[in-house]
Amino acid sequence: MAIDQKNDGQCESAPIVVDGLFLMFVKTRPAECSACGFDLKKVTRPRCSECGEELTLEI
Alpha-carbon gap, residue 39 to 50, rounded angstroms: 9
- In sign, the C-alpha dihedral spanning 48, 53, 57, 59 is negative
Mean pLDDT confidence for 47-53? 95
> Full-prediction pTM beyond 0.75?
no
Strand (E) or helix (H) holding 3 = strand 3-5
Which residues does residue 54 pair with via DSSP β-bridges, in sequence order?
A: 47
What's the pLDDT tens digit per position in 1-41?
Answer: 343 344 455 555 545 567 888 889 899 999 999 999 999 99
What secondary structure, in 3-state letters, does 11-28 show?
EEECHHHHHHHHHHHHHH
d(CA 27, CA 14) in angstroms, rounded, equals 21
